[in-house]
Amino acid sequence: MSSVFYRSNKTYPTAVRGEGVYLWDAQGKRYLDAASGALVANLGHGNERVARALAEQARTLPFVHGSQFTSEAYERYAARLAALMPRAGYRFWAVSGGSEATESALKLARQYHLERGERSRYRVISRKPSYHGASLGALAASGMGARREIYRPLMQEDAFPKIAKPDPRKDGAEDARQLEALILELGPETVACFIAEPVGGASDPALTPAPGYWTEIRRICDRYGVLFVADEVMCGLGRAGLPLASLEEPAAVPDIVVLGKGLAAGYAPLAGLLASPEIYAAVMGGSGAFKHGFTYAGHPVCLAAGDAVLDILLEERLFERSAQLGARLLRGLTELMARFEFILEVRGQGLMLGMVLGDPATGEAFETPGLAERIGRAAFESGLITYPGSGALDGYRGDHLLLGPPLNTRDDEAEELLGLLEGALRRVAPQVG
Ligand code: PLP
């Protein structure tokens, strides 16, 4: 009998090996990983160069505690990430996972205002639906009713107000002004930050607003002294077809960028945040330290893995590859939409690709959720890993399928992906409706 604390009583195959876009289980079955796990394994599996970088760092300096030392690995990687920002002076704070990174961003936003003597600013405005993490602060900021419901008594709801998700059919700037309306209603002097995913992820796959939205968000945040936090845990570092998705509108540079998932491409747990020079200066000129920390923050082995991943992303031009292959796959998904009427919408930005599923008669979600799960299961049985999502969420009801293969997926593998997906859709189609 297993001693693992499983998620449910379903049986999980035992994964034994990974190479490129493929995984194998103990029975020898091969899976094409079209979800990169959960949009994490951005370089695919079994990359020797990253594995060697990890081993080398573990031999030389496996661990130091952040209260005592910095490390060459931390200094080098932080400088490279900060160089992605269009302005000099951003500072990197490394942690182990996306939720820790969001949690850190929310606490840093609050501390920034305290350092400046604005003690009344504590509220975190976010959108619904959205997903920012599973720890209590990150979950409170997440507009995902189903995941938050049982923890409500542990959350201070008043601190986490929400606006609606963007509607790409609206004027971008006008759509953004719901943030201004809420800031004014709450009182700007109570608001610490606004957090949002530049490209929708687990809660609303590949959703992007109309042009001008982010520029207006930036303007509103500036006008009311609110920090703009971009949660790029899923869409950052090439996944959305550019180094950072939040830099698509040049006038909308965030104060804090939250990163995770693909940073070390699954070879080690690595996440973190980039904080603006103004935030850093406020902390350094005030109390002198970010009042926050985790034991494993700034882990040299994880940072060495991130560094090797970044080398490969740049050398193999994988940001560009993500955009180009994403466009090809989006065309393939659009063709599938024409064949299967329960695919209501397909979306994509780089290699973040989404299918919205529902009732073709109403154009809305089916009354009973579960279609995405059924397609996901049929795909898994035939050796294709997808990332289905469903359930009643704040501001969103329905089923969707998120796809995000590794950034270095080959053309023939992408064709195989589309073929396997079509097979799964065909098998499920007769029971839909
Ligand atoms: N933020 C976003 C946008 C995410 O997609 C996720 C995870 O899916 C998180 C935060 C939380 O990251 P983690 O699961 O690594 O804690």
Read off the pLDDT of each residue in 133-162 and give the average, rounded to a whole number. Answer: 93
243 and 182 in a common domain? yes
Determine whether the shortest distance from the Cβ of 231 to ligand 1 is under 6 A. yes
Indicate the average pLDDT of the chain: 96
Digit-coded pLDDT (tens) for 247-266: 999 999 999 999 999 999 99
294 and 410 in a common domain? no
Q: What does the angle CA 74 – CA 88 – CA 257 come to, to the nearest 5 degrees? A: 65
410 and 390 in a common domain? yes
Q: Could you identify the atom of ligand 1 that is nearest to the CA of residue 261?
A: 15
Whose CA is closest to 261, among 30, 100, 71, 34? Answer: 100
Task: Report the separation in Å between the CA atom of 198 and the middle of ligand 1, taken as the mean of its atom positions.
Answer: 13
Share of the chain above pLDDT 90, in %: 91
CATH code of residue 87? 3.40.640.10
Q: Is residue 6 part of a domain?
A: no
Read off the pLDDT of each residue in 339-357 and give the average, rounded to a whole number. Answer: 97
User: Where in the sequence is the domain holding 105, given as residue range(s)?
Assistant: 49-316
Task: Report the separation in Å between the CA atom of 433 and the middle of ligand 1, taken as the mean of its atom positions.
Answer: 32
283 and 339 in a common domain? no
Residue nearest atom 7 in ligand 1 by C-alpha distance: 133
pLDDT at 57 over 60: yes
Q: Is residue 130 part of a domain?
A: yes
Length of the chain: 433
Classify strands 123-128 and 162-164 as parallel, antiparallel or unpaired.
Answer: parallel
Q: Provide the pLDDT for residue 297.
A: 96
CA–CA dist 301, 385 (Å, integer): 28
pLDDT band at 88 (very low <50, low <70, confident <90, very high): very high
pLDDT at 395 over 60: no
Task: Report the separation in Å between the CA atom of 234 and the middle of ligand 1, taken as the mean of its atom positions.
Answer: 7
87 and 212 in a common domain? yes
pLDDT band at 117 (very low <50, low <70, confident <90, very high): very high
User: In this structure, are residues 385 and 379 in contact, taking their beta carbons and an 8 Å threshold?
Assistant: yes
**Continuous H helices in 136-273:** 136-141, 145-148, 172-186, 213-224
pLDDT band at 144 (very low <50, low <70, confident <90, very high): confident
pLDDT at 62 over 70: yes
Q: Is residue 141 part of a domain?
A: yes
Q: Is residue 139 part of a domain?
A: yes
3-state secondary structure of 344: strand
Q: Is residue 361 part of a domain?
A: yes
Read off the pLDDT of each residue in 187-214 and give the average, rounded to a whole number. Answer: 96
Whose CA is closest to 33, among 413, 355, 423? Answer: 413
Q: Is residue 9 part of a domain?
A: no
Q: Provide the pLDDT for residue 394.
A: 58
384 and 301 in a common domain? no
Q: Which of 316, 333, 366 is the last residue of a domain?
A: 316
Q: Which of 61-70, 349-358, 397-406 has the lowest mean pLDDT?
A: 397-406
User: In this structure, are residues 97 and 271 in contact, taking their beta carbons and an 8 Å threshold?
Assistant: yes
Classify strands 256-259 and 387-393 as parallel, antiparallel or unpaired.
Answer: unpaired
CATH code of residue 408? 3.90.1150.10
Q: Is residue 10 part of a domain?
A: no
Q: Could you identify the atom of ligand 1 that is nearest to the CA of residue 97?
A: 15
Q: Provide the pLDDT for residue 2.
A: 83
254 and 239 in a common domain? yes
Read off the pLDDT of each residue in 405-425 and give the average, rounded to a whole number. Answer: 98
The total number of structural domains in the chain stands at 2
Determine whether the shortest distance from the Cβ of 201 to ligand 1 is under 6 A. yes
84 and 27 in a common domain? no
Q: Which of 261, 281, 316 is the last residue of a domain?
A: 316
Task: Report the separation in Å between the CA atom of 260 and the middle of ligand 1, taken as the mean of its atom positions.
Answer: 7
Determine whether the shortest distance from the Cβ of 99 to ligand 1 is under 6 A. yes
Higher pLDDT, 433 or 160: 160
Q: Is residue 406 part of a domain?
A: yes
User: In this structure, are residues 398 and 365 in contact, taking their beta carbons and an 8 Å threshold?
Assistant: yes
Q: Which of 295, 316, 337 is the last residue of a domain?
A: 316
pLDDT at 408 over 60: yes
Digit-coded pLDDT (tens) for 351-369: 999 999 999 999 888 888 8
* Per-residue three-class SS string for the chain: CCCCCCCCCCCCCCEEEEEECEEEECCCCEEEECCHHHHCCCCCECCHHHHHHHHHHHHHCCCCCCCCCCCHHHHHHHHHHHCCCCCCCCEEEEECCHHHHHHHHHHHHHHHHHHCCCCCCCEEEEEECCCCCCCHHHHHHCCCHHHHHHHHHHCCHHHCCEEECCCCCCCHHHHHHHHHHHHHHHCHHHEEEEEECCCCCCCCCCCCCCCCHHHHHHHHHHHHCCEEEEECCCCCCCCCCCCCHHHCCCCCCCCEEEECHHHHCCCCCCEEEEECHHHHHHHHHCCCCCCCCCCCCCCHHHHHHHHHHHHHHHHCCHHHHHHHHHHHHHHHHHHHHHHCCCEEEEEEECCEEEEEECECCCCECCCCCCHHHHHHHHHHHCCEECEEEEEEECCEEEEEEEECCCCCCCHHHHHHHHHHHHHHHHHHHHHCC
Q: Provide the pLDDT for residue 66.
A: 95
256 and 329 in a common domain? no
Digit-coded pLDDT (tens) for 285-321: 999 999 999 999 999 999 999 999 999 999 999 999 9
3-state secondary structure of 111: helix
Read off the pLDDT of each residue in 274-292 and give the average, rounded to a whole number. Answer: 98
User: In this structure, are residues 133 and 99 in contact, taking their beta carbons and an 8 Å threshold?
Assistant: yes
Q: Provide the pLDDT for residue 1.
A: 77
419 and 311 in a common domain? no
User: In this structure, are residues 200 and 207 in contact, taking their beta carbons and an 8 Å threshold?
Assistant: yes
Read off the pLDDT of each residue in 144-173 and give the average, rounded to a whole number. Answer: 93
414 and 371 in a common domain? yes
326 and 283 in a common domain? no
pLDDT at 392 over 70: no
Mutate to test the pocket of ligand 1, among 36, 103, 131, 263 (most ligand atoms within 8 A of CB): 131
